[in-house]
């Protein structure tokens, strides 16, 4: 590997000495494809590459390489100073405003970056930079401007009826945040009301299309709106729907973490009754997952919360019957846990409340029955740390507006990845190379626009095919928008390349493009889309895969989806496949049978054993065949 690096560097040096910068650049980019090498070796390739690009006059590409080098700890101080001098003096004057803005932001000059973004016509990006610089008045003006643009034409009923409602909601939320910072509660309140209405409209739209992950984003923003505005009803609506979607997608540990987050917020707002209801639901859900210690923990939390509800109502001077009902709910929860000492204490407390005499007497007798009893031992614990996952709330109110504004530009998406120091070097290197490829097919940004059609000759088509492949290698959610844009190209090779790229992008959103590929008029594109369907199996892929089986009129496409479903080891997928074996068309039954014979999930085996005796003879035969193929006695 070191010999290869030395060979290409020397070849590039000789070409550059002759003034043949194209050959020098080609040699260096060729060896830069070795993205697994050490950082010092990689930097030794990028330094001459940056120089060759600059001398050729390709300022955007040189600047892109410079971005990577500026974040490298291995660049000698003299090299960093020279690079900064070159970029500041010559290149920054020739690159588009958007590249200038990114360069300034990476150097810490955020306010100047905001001005450059505004010059480029990228209002959302400019507003975000203004926020980071603490220029809230300027940011508010920009968000207000964007809100006007996104308001658009509406139906007679006042509904947008499409995803534009989502982006309009985000702009309104950002406007509300800035108005609050500027001390304008009236505008903040008005924008919040508009944002909530638009988010609910957008969530309904996304769920009607089966895009629950986009609806999830809507509800996450709703939670944040409630947090910032102190409106618990919005927080609760957001969390309840987030939990519902996570449960439907079988993301069980995420769901439990969201239960815990919702509980914490409810307790912070002293909404103890809502918190107790959430704790009960969390306990039941954990029990269904056989997480018994977690279930017990949530049940104990529920009992304490009902006790808190009673204390709160007594303090408020509410009718004693309300506190009585809360304490009875706590007693039920504690009784189920075998905590009989506490049950007796609560009955005694009820007997001393200002209630109807016969009820007080009843509670006094009940308290005596628990005299001298002992509590059962409890095994209660929160979700273990090894099952927890990062559920940090992404700032989609910024991220998704930037994506919308970039209009599917691969160059801009890769710039975001390249300049993100939190990402591994491997990802940043691949983003660098992909951005250089994108320059060949994406026109230079002009004011107010990122994307145009770009060239359409054979060389550009080949570059787009290569771009799709490079985007897929990044395996990041951020590449989906550029791939969606590429799929709108008329060249069949490009659309096939996009479908091939989708095979390695395990996101529910990938199915949006794959489904478009299944409906393509070109049979070769449809064939590649079917391959993508068969590759896209992961726990929360059940819903889009089942939707394809139900809706597709193509037997090969349904077969691909059924084979993918056989790899989804969930109860829901197992029941769906059993239904196909019982009632599906012969060709679908065969696809499900063959898929299930080749997988190793346990959920279908459990269901097959439970259903074997009551199934029709032909289904029994299929189930025994599947079990035998897996080496399990029927």
Q: Calculate the CA dihedral of residues 579, 585, 587, 590 and round it to 10 degrees.
A: 30
Q: How is residue 440 written in tokens?
A: 């060949």
Mean pLDDT score of the chain: 90
Check: CB of residue 199 under 8 Å from CB of residue 242: no
Residue boundaries of the structural domains of the chain = 137-249, 270-393, 407-505, 514-629
pLDDT(340) > 70: yes
Percent of the chain past pLDDT 90, that is, above it, reads: 77
Q: Residues with Cβ < 8 Å from 79, sequence gap 6 or more?
A: 47, 69
DSSP 190-212: HHHHHHHHHHHHHHHHHHHTT-H
Q: How is residue 58 written in tokens?
A: 């390709």
**Tokens 């007798």 found at:** 365
Q: Which CATH architecture has domain 514-629?
A: Alpha Horseshoe (1.25)
β partners of residue 449? 446
Cα–Cα distance, 225 to 219 (Å, whole number): 10
pLDDT attached to residue 633: 72
Cα–Cα distance, 233 to 225 (Å, whole number): 10
pLDDT(346) > 90: yes
Helix, strand or coil, per DSSP, at residue 449:
strand
pLDDT attached to residue 600: 87
Residue 575, φ and ψ in degrees, nearest 5: -65, -40
Cα–Cα distance, 127 to 405 (Å, whole number): 12
Using 50, 70 and 90 to split pLDDT, how confident is the model at 230? confident
Q: How is residue 301 written in tokens?
A: 């939390």
Instruction: Give the relative orientation of helices 523-535 and 510-518 as an angle to the nearest 10 degrees.
Output: 140
pLDDT attached to residue 249: 82
**31 sits in which H/E element:** helix 21-32
Q: Residues with Cβ < 8 Å from 76, sequence gap 6 or more?
A: none
DSSP 507-566: -TTHHHHHHHHHT-SSHHHHHHHHHHHHH---GGGHHHHHHHHHH---HHHHHHHHHHHT
- CATH, range 137-249: 1.25.40
Summarize pLDDT for 299-312 with one digit per residue, the tens: 999 999 999 999 99
């Amino acid at each position: 590997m070191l010999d290869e690096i030395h060979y290409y560097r020397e070849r590039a040096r000789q070409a550059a000495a002759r003034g043949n910068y194209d050959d020098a650049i080609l040699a260096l980019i060729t060896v830069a494809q070795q993205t697994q090498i050490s950082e010092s070796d990689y930097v030794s390739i990028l330094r001459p590459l940056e120089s060759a690009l600059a001398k050729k006059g390709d300022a955007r590409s040189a600047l892109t390489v410079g971005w990577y080098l500026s974040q490298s700890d291995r660049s000698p101080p003299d090299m960093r100073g020279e690079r900064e001098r070159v970029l500041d003096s010559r290149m920054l004057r020739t690159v588009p405003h958007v590249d200038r803005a990114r360069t300034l932001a990476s150097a810490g000059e955020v306010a100047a970056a905001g001005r450059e973004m505004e010059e480029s016509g990228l209002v959302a990006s400019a507003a975000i930079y203004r926020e980071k610089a603490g220029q809230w008045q300027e940011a508010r003006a920009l968000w207000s401007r964007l809100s006007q643009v996104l308001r658009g034409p509406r139906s007679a009923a006042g509904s947008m009826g499409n995803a534009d409602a989502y982006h309009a909601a985000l702009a309104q939320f950002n406007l509300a945040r800035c108005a609050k910072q500027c001390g304008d509660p009236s505008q903040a309140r008005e924008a919040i009301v508009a944002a909530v209405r638009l988010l609910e409209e957008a969530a309904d739209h996304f769920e009607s299309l089966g895009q629950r992950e986009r609806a999830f984003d809507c509800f996450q923003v709703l939670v944040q709106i409630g947090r910032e505005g102190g409106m618990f009803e919005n927080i609760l609506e957001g969390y309840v729907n987030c939990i519902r979607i996570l449960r439907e997608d079988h993301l069980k540990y995420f769901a439990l973490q969201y239960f815990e987050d919702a509980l914490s917020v409810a307790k912070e707002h002293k909404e103890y009754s809502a918190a107790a209801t959430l704790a009960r639901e969390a306990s039941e859900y954990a029990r269904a997952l056989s997480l018994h210690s977690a279930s017990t923990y949530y049940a104990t939390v529920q009992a304490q919360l009902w006790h808190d509800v009673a204390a709160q109502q007594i303090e408020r001077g509410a009718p004693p019957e309300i506190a009585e009902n809360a304490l009875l709910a706590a007693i039920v929860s504690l009784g189920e846990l075998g905590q009989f000492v506490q049950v007796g204490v609560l009955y005694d407390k009820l007997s001393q409340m200002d209630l109807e005499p016969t009820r007080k007497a009843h509670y006094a007798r009940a308290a005596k029955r628990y005299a001298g009893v002992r509590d059962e031992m409890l095994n209660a614990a929160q979700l273990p740390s090894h099952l927890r996952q990062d559920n940090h709330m992404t700032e989609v109110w910024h991220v998704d507006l930037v994506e919308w504004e970039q209009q599917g530009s691969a160059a801009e998406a890769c710039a975001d990845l390249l300049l993100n120091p939190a990402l591994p070097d491997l990802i940043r290197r691949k983003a660098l190379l992909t951005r250089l490829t994108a320059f060949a097919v994406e026109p230079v940004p002009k004011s107010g626009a990122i994307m145009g059609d770009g060239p359409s000759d054979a060389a550009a088509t080949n570059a787009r095919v290569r771009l799709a492949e490079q985007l897929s290698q990044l395996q990041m959610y951020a590449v989906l928008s550029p791939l969606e844009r590429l799929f709108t190209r008329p060249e069949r090779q490009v659309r096939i390349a996009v479908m091939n790229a989708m095979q390695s992008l395990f996101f529910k959103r990938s199915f949006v493009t794959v489904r478009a590929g299944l409906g393509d008029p070109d049979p070769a594109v449809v064939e590649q889309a079917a391959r993508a369907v068969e590759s896209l199996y992961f726990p929360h892929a059940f819903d889009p895969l089942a939707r394809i089986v139900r809706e597709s009129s193509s037997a090969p496409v349904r077969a691909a989806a059924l084979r993918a479903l056989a790899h989804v080891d969930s109860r829901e997928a197992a029941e769906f496949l059993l239904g196909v074996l019982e009632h599906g068309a012969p060709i679908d039954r065969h696809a499900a049978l063959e898929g299930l014979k080749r997988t190793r999930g346990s959920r279908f085996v459990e269901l097959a054993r439970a259903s074997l005796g009551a199934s029709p003879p032909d289904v029994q035969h299929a189930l025994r065949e599947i079990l035998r193929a897996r080496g399990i006695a029927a």
